[in-house]
Amino acid sequence: MGYRYELRFSGSGGQGMILAGIIMAEAACIYEDKMAVQSQSYGPESRGGASKSEVVISDEPIDYPKATSIDCMLALTQEACSKYHKDIKKDGILLVDTEMVAEVPQGDFKVYEAPIIESAREEFGKTIVANIISLGMITEFTGVVSKEAIEKAVLARVPEAFKDLNRRALHFGFEKAKELKGKE
Amino acid sequence: MGYRYELRFSGSGGQGMILAGIIMAEAACIYEDKMAVQSQSYGPESRGGASKSEVVISDEPIDYPKATSIDCMLALTQEACSKYHKDIKKDGILLVDTEMVAEVPQGDFKVYEAPIIESAREEFGKTIVANIISLGMITEFTGVVSKEAIEKAVLARVPEAFKDLNRRALHFGFEKAKELKGKE
Amino acid sequence: MSTAAAVKKPKISVPFDYSKYLRKGKLPHIWCPGCGHGIVLKSLLRAIEKSGLSKDDICMVSGIGCSSRTPGYVDFNTLHTLHGRALSYATGVKLAKPEMKVIVVTGDGDALAIGGNHFIHTCRRNIDMTILVYSNAIYGMTGGQFSPTTPSGSYSTTSRYGNIEPVFDCCELAKASGATFVARGTAYHVQELERIILESLKHKGTSVVEILDSCPVYYGRLNKMKSASQMMELIEKNGTVSVKQVDKLPPEKVQGKLLRGILHKEDRPEYCEEYQKLIDRVSGK
Amino acid sequence: MSTAAAVKKPKISVPFDYSKYLRKGKLPHIWCPGCGHGIVLKSLLRAIEKSGLSKDDICMVSGIGCSSRTPGYVDFNTLHTLHGRALSYATGVKLAKPEMKVIVVTGDGDALAIGGNHFIHTCRRNIDMTILVYSNAIYGMTGGQFSPTTPSGSYSTTSRYGNIEPVFDCCELAKASGATFVARGTAYHVQELERIILESLKHKGTSVVEILDSCPVYYGRLNKMKSASQMMELIEKNGTVSVKQVDKLPPEKVQGKLLRGILHKEDRPEYCEEYQKLIDRVSGK
Amino acid sequence: MAEKKKLFMQGNEACAEGALYAGCRFYAGYPITPSTEIAEYLSRTLPRVGGKFIQMEDEIASISAIAGASLAGLKSMTATSGPGFSLKQEGLGYACMAEIPCVIVDVMRGGPSTGYPTGPSQSDVMQAKWGTHGDHPVIAVTPAYVQEILHETVRAFNLSEKYRTPVLILFDEIVGHMREPVMLPEEGELEVIDREKPTCPPEEYLPYDAGYEIPPLAAFGEGYRFHVTGLNHKDDGFPTNDPEMIQEGIKRIIRKIDNNKEDIWKNEEHYIDGAEVVVFAYGSTARSAKYAVRELRKKGVKAGLLRALTLWPFPDEALKDACQKARAVVVPELNLGQIVYEVERLVDCHVEGIYRVDGEPINPMQIMEAMEKYS
Amino acid sequence: MAEKKKLFMQGNEACAEGALYAGCRFYAGYPITPSTEIAEYLSRTLPRVGGKFIQMEDEIASISAIAGASLAGLKSMTATSGPGFSLKQEGLGYACMAEIPCVIVDVMRGGPSTGYPTGPSQSDVMQAKWGTHGDHPVIAVTPAYVQEILHETVRAFNLSEKYRTPVLILFDEIVGHMREPVMLPEEGELEVIDREKPTCPPEEYLPYDAGYEIPPLAAFGEGYRFHVTGLNHKDDGFPTNDPEMIQEGIKRIIRKIDNNKEDIWKNEEHYIDGAEVVVFAYGSTARSAKYAVRELRKKGVKAGLLRALTLWPFPDEALKDACQKARAVVVPELNLGQIVYEVERLVDCHVEGIYRVDGEPINPMQIMEAMEKYS
Amino acid sequence: MTEAAKKLPRIVIQEKLCKGCSICVDFCPTNVLEMRGPVVAVKNLEACTRCQLCDLRCPDFAIQVFD
Amino acid sequence: MTEAAKKLPRIVIQEKLCKGCSICVDFCPTNVLEMRGPVVAVKNLEACTRCQLCDLRCPDFAIQVFD
Ligand SMILES: Cc1ncc(C[n+]2csc(CCOP(=O)(O)OP(=O)(O)O)c2C)c(N)n1
Ligand SMILES: Cc1ncc(C[n+]2csc(CCOP(=O)(O)OP(=O)(O)O)c2C)c(N)n1
Ligand code: SF4
Ligand code: SF4
Ligand code: SF4
Ligand code: SF4
Ligand code: SF4
Ligand code: SF4
Ligand SMILES: [Mg+2]
Ligand SMILES: [Mg+2]
């Protein structure tokens, strides 16, 4: 029997959570030979409010597409974090933004805190790359896809002019995650 | 058990067949204490074409409202006559307009021919009273309602200015029918 | 009721042969005695003959109503659709086969009541088609209810005390919506109508022709018109004035009358042509 | 981006207290950063205050769309209906309770696309209500498809190659349909807008106010507008000219611009009043 | 309406009279055969009693207008036929969701599409239940006699007001255009129910208060400034994304009908006790069935009729009861088999449908023949 | 479309790709969540292949336009969601009656009314069958996977062209917005069926020739000047009042589907042989069911799944077969019980529905729990 | 007048199509036609100017005037 | 200027409501405001003319200027 790996990217509309999910899934199913499904859910407003994007990765066809027992979750806002962390499984990973998530939930899972949005702003001058930094960190933490695959997936999804920026953001994520893991 | 008397008034749209049916039914159920149902059928054009109006009279509540075994039928056009005479029952009555119905169907029923429309035109200057003349004749032939009842019903349905004309037409019908019966 | 206009030198010496355009065995049509719809149809067929259009290239589309029964009688590609939706079906036909001439025949109820939205949007897009609105100020088919063109004060089976609703000016509405050819004719002025329809057929873009005709059976009877001819005389003849004459007439002769003739004509890009340009651009043709 | 108009002597010295008209606990509203709908709402509330209307007597009706979410925030009798149908619901409310002031808030898509038929017929009847069309040239709620007011050539999620459709002039359409008060304002000219809305509320009959505002998130982004303010500047400020000034300006300054202000006003019998007369007449009152 | 009077009336006219009796004071509609006489009648009579009649630009506008008028406090109605009924589906769902009392008449004609406008049919009965998207409650009454149309129209208004939901009246062209004697009921003779209005102070008013089975409904303009939406909403009427509230809201509007089936159902039974062959019928077809059953009984056949006057919610219990001893149940319909699906689902005995879509009525002979097979 | 390529696509996009593959060259629509991406995708891609995309003023205009375009010879499609689907009902009936091939997609969202626009649902499945007035044929396909949406869209076009009737594609928001890897089929890889055109001389052409099961359909503008109407018509397309012709005409359009069920049906079975508890599912819910059945089998429960890819005509035979040995059949639906009625009608074993209308998917646990009760 | 010698026009009425609306009668400029019972008939052929107006305005394709 | 002595206006910003659209900043005639991170802030209160335009154009009911 195969494995089933579940990721959830959460934040607020406009933070690129859906794109993050798509890139992760593409890394798995286009640039590696895995199966992947990405799904999402958002309020009728489609603006603001908590938004989430889920990716299930497996080596077998995936039937149930939603995350119920999450291996790794990202939360870029407090609201999203509080609303969505409950499904993280035992020994799963929760990655939160230090700046945005003040109340970090406790549980049977590992928590990493990092100033993702701040880094995006300070290091790259664009808060929007927070999602790419996150992808780098998650790849490093989980190894669910290879770094080559995620890099290809990122580059395939961003316009020419922003390729370099995003590559750097991704690698920045790899490094940050290594640091954090190192600290343990 | 009660009786069931079925009448069918047929002609073309505009000849007042529906009104004739209504008046006959009202004579039975408003001016006498019978039960009556009037129904009709016409093409989607609602203009021209064969049109029919049916009346069922009984001393009991009437469930099936359509005529299937006709006691008395009027036909003011050839088309209507040919199309609708088939349901006349044995010993029923068929009254046709001499001018309009050239091919008079034969069957187990009694046929009366009368120049109804011509009389309407010649005697009353209005072809539209053909339906009232017919009502007079049918009342005389069938006795299904009293002459008093049919007269009241006719008068209640026509505007003040035409009351006299229609009363005359009705009585003309009574007389014509008597003549025809006499000839037998 | 003879008129000055009518005694003008006759233009036609042999009768027009309508049978070329009529489907065999369909006459008599369903329209009531004196109904204007038949008169309009004849003007249309004469205009088509003059236009030189081939029968195979014409698609006639209608909605539901007495007027909308027209397509059943004529030997074109014909489409009798849903009440109010003729223009949407026609839009599909035209976009799919832009080389076809699409003619929509519709009633005042069909085009302006239930179909009002498709009417204004078709005009806005300026998609090439000729829209003939048979405007008899009544819902004929359903037995005489008032329509958006029934004059205020008039009687109908749903305005027994006199209509309190104001009317649409179909031509103004067409123009404000974007139609690039807008005209009005009547079933009384049959030869003028033929000319107007011919012009509308030649126009590229959305052309709207409002045609005043009459429903003697409902509108006529309910409004105490003695005959079809009297209706035509009162409404179509006396109720209108030609745009060509309007400037020459004293105001009191124009007051309250509807204009006849071509009321608006402009050149604007036609929808199907614009779409073709788009295809050429993006398909790399 | 400071403007001459803006430095005029301030008219307001204490801020307006909107809370009187807002339902408690509903803010922040769902509109995106920089969305013009909130600006329009504020002008409307100030106009209502000036009108002296009581909250109980106002019924606000909307369809579906971002703009149509307005009723949820305001403390009136509020009715959020179906896409395009606001005016029909409003007609029912108004006829049932003619003493109420009915205000319809609707989007360009809601009023002019799917709701176009009800729009023209409401105008025709001249039923007393104020119709505010929040015209942002896009379907905001569904994520940026072009609408009947999206300029030709503009980009949207369904016109990625530039829109080939012509636009409606909402005000022309309203007028041709019969509206007796027609005006245009913008979310940039907030005080002028307040005055226009106030006038529209005072008018008896159908009043239509087209309000140019902006959807920075969809229309803005897809059409390379840098910010909400830039959009307002380009479209609402530079794209319009006041009717009061138009005669004084050289033609090149007017060319291609939309007129702001009250564009049409006339007195015609109002529907509910006419209906009441009918009742009085036939009920023997 | 003060004096009792026998009149000879069309079904459609009786429907209009019923509406007036029930207190309907707003009608919006768009003409369509064979329902138009209802509009025509009310266009004359409503203004006489201070009510409003408006001919809208289409059927969608019509159903929207009646919902608006109802929220402003007037009992409201619209009438149509197949094509118009299809167009009204979205508006019908809105009225269900927002719990707006109103009455919608569908005088059924031959379909599908434009079909046979002057021909009778019963082919919209499943559409009445499923025509709009989403799960929603449905009440539909199916009178068969002209006098009954009047009474059932009053009942339809009562149900609508009581359960705060749209109620459908379905009959076919035959009954709509048929004329029979009608006794106009005197004032007070028939029960007339008005919607419950809130008594709480406006600040406390919750238009969708889950504490009630059927929350009271204020009228616009009377001091209760509430909000109405077709989005899933909380008990205060404002939209919600909360899964539990969404589900509970939908379930409540369905439950309010489900829990009150006994009150909503209305059936007529003829010779049902111990019937060995049962005919289940509604509308004009049931008239033929009644005739048929009576004739069969004369012949000694143990035939019985269950006639539904409430078709939705479906009379499942009455049907099961009626079929207890039955070898077969015959279902005559002026369609190609619709309600027969419900019957098949519910009974164990043999089910035979009699269908007809040729514009002619199902006559008693057809029914008798079918029933005799199982006698 | 020449080269085989693996793409990561949304369900809605796959639907659009399927349409292009099937030869769809005309799309008319009006935006509505959660179907809009289909329109957006085709607005970009259709003109590139010479096809036409038009955004109409509403849903009614959209379904009308595709019927018009189809009669002029183009394969045509529209897409919508609940409220729009309700509006399209009249036009759908017209296409059934006039036998116009076209494809209508309904990406189901929470209802009734405006409901929950971004929430998934399966509550339009009965509407798909009964939504328009009058008796009419219905074909509806219900894909559950993104790749499958592509394939089923091609199949929908094929069925539509082959049977000269509108075909519905129903899936829900979950599948519509979900992304999965998709292999674009190469040219020739999937069967693509085009409608049969007449070969007879134009004078002899009968567009509704009863001599055929499915009469060939000429395109407007190609020399066959025929007539199309939504009225009951004769085989030459012209209206008729003849009872026999009316009835025969309606029966024929229903028969052409009924007689070809075997060809139209498509089901997927998992562990059905000898299953003691069966789950009958369609659409996204079937994905959970598949997961559940697999897990149950691991636990030794004799569970089986019957998944319908054609929901209408209803797979009655497959269902009866699947339930031969079953003690119970479980029917999970994102509604309050719709298809379960069909199941109850057809099977003798116990039927249990699992319903959910809160905007959340039915998860495998819910299904497993229900099924385990009968194991 | 020498015109008297001229050939008279031929007015063809299809009685099966004529619905008796009398439009042709009422608008004939020279009073050539009349209603006879339910259909139209020619009463004064000599007066006919061949103007074709009767044909042009007949809603029923029922009357034609040949030279 | 003697105006210097005058009382300064009070600009109240509800940060919870401000969505950072910067409309008030861009259209303030005297450049009183600026964006600070995701929300607006006052940078030059002295320049404020109390014209209220920031309030009037704020879509979010987030800024008010008191005398
Ligand atoms: C959806 C729908 N609503 C209503 C009708 C009924 N109906 C048929 S024709 C018609 C009005 C026809 O009026 P108009 O278009 O003016 O045509 P006319 O008969 O006057 O030529 C109506 C209301 C219908 N067929 N379909
Ligand atoms: C019948 C129906 N069709 C389509 C939709 C989807 N829809 C919701 S809002 C909207 C357009 C909104 O545009 P507009 O009215 O301009 O408002 P805005 O969001 O731009 O303020 C659409 C198409 C719907 N809800 N109902
Ligand atoms: S009802 Fe009126 S419009 Fe219809 S055919 Fe008769 S006269 Fe003409
Ligand atoms: S999507 Fe556009 S219209 Fe809607 S709230 Fe956002 S900015 Fe405003
Ligand atoms: S051709 Fe002219 S003159 Fe002769 S009958 Fe006809 S209308 Fe009269
Ligand atoms: S106009 Fe035509 S239909 Fe009318 S009377 Fe003359 S010939 Fe007959
Ligand atoms: S009140 Fe005027 S000057 Fe002061 S901050 Fe606001 S916009 Fe600037
Ligand atoms: S205008 Fe309002 S929402 Fe925008 S930045 Fe200023 S205070 Fe914030
Ligand atoms: Mg008309
Ligand atoms: Mg908009």
Residue G2 has pLDDT above 60, yes or no: no
Residues of chain B in contact with residue F241, where contact means CB-CB under 8 angstroms, are 43-44, 49
CB-based contact (8 Å) between E58 and chain C?
yes
Q: How far apart are CA B93 and CA B108, in angstroms?
A: 9
Q: Write the pLDDT tens digit of every residue in C271-281.
A: 999 999 999 99
Which residues lie below 8 Å from residue F323, measured CB to CB, with a gap of 6+? Answer: F278, F329, F347, F348, F349
- Count of domains observed in chain A: 1
Helix axes C116-125, D116-125, angle to 10 degrees: 110
Pairing of strands A88-97, A110-114: parallel
Residue D144 Cβ < 6 Å to ligand 4: no
Q: Which amino acid is at F245?
A: M
Per DSSP, D68 falls in state: G
Asked if pLDDT for residue C218 goes beyond 60, the answer is yes
Average pLDDT of the residues in F282-300:
97
* Element housing D281 (H / E): helix D271-282
Which among F36, F113, F114 is the nearest to D145, CB-wise? F36
Tell me how far apart the alpha carbons of residues C107 and C146 are, in angstroms, rounded to a whole number: 12
Chains A and F touch (3+ CB pairs under 8 A): yes
The dihedral region occupied by C263, where left means phi > 0, alpha psi between -120 and 50, and beta the remainder, is alpha
If you search the block for the tokens 């404000």, which residue do you land on? Answer: C176
Q: Give the closest-approach CA distance of D143 to chain A in angstroms.
A: 8
**DSSP letter at D109?**
I
Among the listed residues C176, C181, C61, C171, the one whose alpha carbon sits nearest the alpha carbon of residue C124:
C176
Residue ranges in chain B modelled with pLDDT below 50: 46
Locate the chain E residue with the closest alpha carbon to B31. E6
CA atoms within 13 A of residue B121's CA, in its CB half-sphere: 9
Rounded CA separation E291/B63 (Å): 6
Read off the DSSP letter of residue A64: S
Q: Is the CB of D138 under 6 A from ligand 2?
A: yes
d(CA A8, CA A179): 22
Phi and psi torsions of C207, nearest 5°: -115, 135
Contacts of B43 in chain F (CB under 8 A): 241
Give me the pLDDT at residue C1, please.
45
CA E163 to chain centre: 13
Tokens at B116, concatenated = 């109804």
Digits of tens for pLDDT over chain E (375 positions)? 344 678 999 999 999 999 999 999 999 999 999 999 999 999 999 999 999 999 999 999 999 999 999 999 999 999 999 999 999 999 999 999 999 999 999 999 999 999 999 999 999 999 999 999 999 999 999 999 999 999 999 999 999 999 999 999 999 999 999 999 999 999 999 999 999 999 999 999 999 999 999 999 999 999 999 999 999 999 999 999 999 999 999 999 999 999 999 999 999 999 999 899 999 999 999 999 999 999 999 999 999 999 999 999 999 999 999 999 999 999 999 999 999 999 999 999 999 999 999 999 999 999 999 999 998
Nearest to E81 by CA among E101, E68, E62, E96: E62
CA nearest C6 in G: which residue?
Answer: G29
Please state, in angstroms and as integers, the Cα–Cα distance from residue E80 to each residue in A151, C111, D109, E124, E154, following that order.
62, 20, 28, 12, 18
Pair of tokens at residue C213: 């005709």
Q: Which residues contact D46 (CB under 8 A, 6 or more apart)?
A: D16, D194
Q: What is the CA radius of gyration of chain A?
A: 15
Coil/strand/helix, residue C285: coil
Per-residue pLDDT tens digits for D120-143: 999 999 999 999 999 999 999 999
The Å distance, Cα F6 to ligand 10 centre, comes to 37
Per-residue pLDDT reduced to its tens digit, C232-254: 999 999 999 999 999 999 999 99
C281 near D164, Cβ under 8 Å? no
- CA–CA separation, F172 and F215 (whole Å): 34
| Residue among C85, C274, C280 with most chain F CBs within 10 A, to mutate | C85
Report the DSSP beta bridge partners of residue A53: A9, A40
Contacts of C118 in chain F (CB under 8 A): 57, 61, 64
Q: Which of C12, C14, C21, C66 is nearest to C42 (CA)?
A: C21
Angle of helix B17-29 versus helix B130-142 axis, rounded to 10: 40
Structural domain of B159: 4-182
Q: Are D229 and D1 in contact (CB under 8 A)?
A: yes
Q: What is the pLDDT of residue D1?
A: 45
By C-alpha distance, which of H39, H8, H6, H3 is closest to H24? H39
In total, the C-beta contacts within 8 angstroms joining chain C to chain E are 46
Residue that is written with structure tokens 């590139």 in the block: F48
Q: Is A68 helix (H, G, I), strand (E, B) or coil?
A: coil
Ranges of each domain in chain G: 3-66
Contacts of D64 in chain F (CB under 8 A): 114
C29 touches chain G (CB under 8 A): yes
Question: By CA distance, what is F293's nearest residue in A?
Answer: A63
Closest atom, ligand 5, to C-alpha of G24:
7
Check residue D6 and give its pLDDT.
46
Q: With an 8 Å Cβ cutoff, is B66 touching chain C?
A: no
Core vs surface per residue E233-271: b (16+ CB within 10 A) or e: bbbebbbbbebebbbbbbbbbbebbeebeeebbbbbebb
Q: How large a percentage of chain A has pLDDT more than 90?
A: 86
Rounded alpha-carbon distances, angstroms, from residue H27 to C258, D45, D228, H18, H21: 51, 21, 11, 16, 12
Could you give phi then psi for residue D240, rounded to 5 degrees?
-130, 160
Q: Whose CA is nearest to atom 2 of ligand 8?
A: H58
Q: What does the angle CA A175 – CA A179 – CA A180 come to, to the nearest 5 degrees? A: 120
The confidence score (pLDDT) of residue C14 equals 85
Q: Compute the distance between CA of residue D53 and CA of residue C193 in angstroms, rounded to an integer.
A: 53
Q: What pLDDT shows up at residue F19?
A: 98
Is B159 exposed, middle or buried (CB count within 10 Å of its CB: 0-12, 13-18, 19+)?
exposed
Is the previous residue joined to E34 through a cis bond, with omega within 30 degrees of 0?
A: yes
The mean per-residue pLDDT over the stretch F243-262 comes to: 97
Whether the predicted pLDDT of D3 surpasses 50 = no
Tokens 């769809």 -> residue: F24
Check residue E1 and give its pLDDT: 38
What is the SS3 assignment for A49? coil
The predicted model scores a pTM of 0.97
Q: Which two tokens stand for residue C179?
A: 């139609």
CB-CB under 8 Å, C175 with D176: yes
Question: What is the average per-residue pLDDT within C177-192?
Answer: 98
Print the SS3 string covering chain E. CCCCEEEEEEHHHHHHHHHHHHCEEEEEECCCCCCHHHHHHHHHHCHHHCCEEEECCCHHHHHHHHHHHHHCCCEEEEEECHHHHHHCHHHHHHHHHHCCCEEEEEEEEECCCCEEEEEECCCCHHHHHHCCCCCCCCEEECCCCHHHHHHHHHHHHHHHHHHCCEEEEEEEHHHHHCEEEEEECCCCCCCCCCCCCCCCCHHHCCCCCCCCCCCCCCCCCCCCCCEEECECECCCCCECCCHHHHHHHHHHHHHHHHCCHHHHCCEEEECCCCCCEEEEECCHHHHHHHHHHHHHHHCCCCEEEEEECEEECCCHHHHHHHCCCCCEEEEEECCCCCHHHHHHHHCCCEEEEEECCCCCCCCHHHHHHHHHCCC
- Domains belonging to chain E, first-starting first, are 5-184 (3.40.50.970), 269-372 (3.40.50.920)
CATH for H3-66, among 3.40.50.360, 3.30.70.20, 3.40.50.1970, 2.60.40.1180? 3.30.70.20
Amino acid F5: pLDDT: 79
Question: CA-to-CA distance for E16 and E22, rounded, in angstroms?
Answer: 10
Tokens of E191: 């029960």
Using an 8 Å CB-CB cutoff, list chain E residues near D95. Answer: 26, 52, 54, 65, 69
| Sign of the Cα pseudo-torsion (C70, C76, C80, C83, in order) | negative
Rounded to 5 degrees, what angle do the CA atoms E78, E83, E87 make? 65
Q: Do C158 and E47 touch (CB under 8 A)?
A: no
Residues of E in contact with D92 (CB under 8 A): 26, 28, 64-72, 76
Length reported for chain A:
184
Are B64 and E363 within 8 A, CB to CB?
yes
Counts for chain A of helices (H) and strands (E), in that order: 6, 6
Nearest CA to ligand 8 atom 1: H58
Tokens of D169: 């002039």
Q: Judge contact between E270 and E293, C-beta under 8 A.
A: yes
Do A and G count as touching (3 or more CB pairs closer than 8 A)? no
For D143, nearest residue in chain A (alpha carbons): A46
What pLDDT is attached to residue F4? 60
Site from A15, A40, A47, A51 to mutate, D interface, most D CB atoms within 10 angstroms: A47
Indicate the fold that domain D31-282 takes in CATH: Rossmann fold (3.40.50)
Q: Is the CB of residue G52 below 6 angstroms from any atom belonging to ligand 5?
A: yes
Asked if D116 lies within 8 A of C114 by C-beta distance, the reply is no
Strands across the sheet with E328-333, in order? E267-270, E303-308, E277-281, E328-333, E350-355
E56 near D CB under 8 A = yes
β-pairing, F166-172 vs F139-141, is: parallel
| H14 — pLDDT class (breaks 50, 70, 90) | very high
Which residues have C-beta within 8 Å of that of residue D122, sequence separation ≥ 6?
Answer: D87, D90, D91, D129, D131, D206
Number of Cβ within a 10 Å radius of residue C15 = 18
- Please answer whether residues D182 and D208 qualify as being in contact, where contact means their C-beta atoms are separated by less than 8 angstroms: yes
Contact D268 C165 (CB under 8 A): no
C-alpha F88/C-alpha A91 separation (Å) is: 51
Among residues F10, F63, F73, the alpha carbon closest in space to that of F41 is found at F10
Tokens of E57: 């630009």
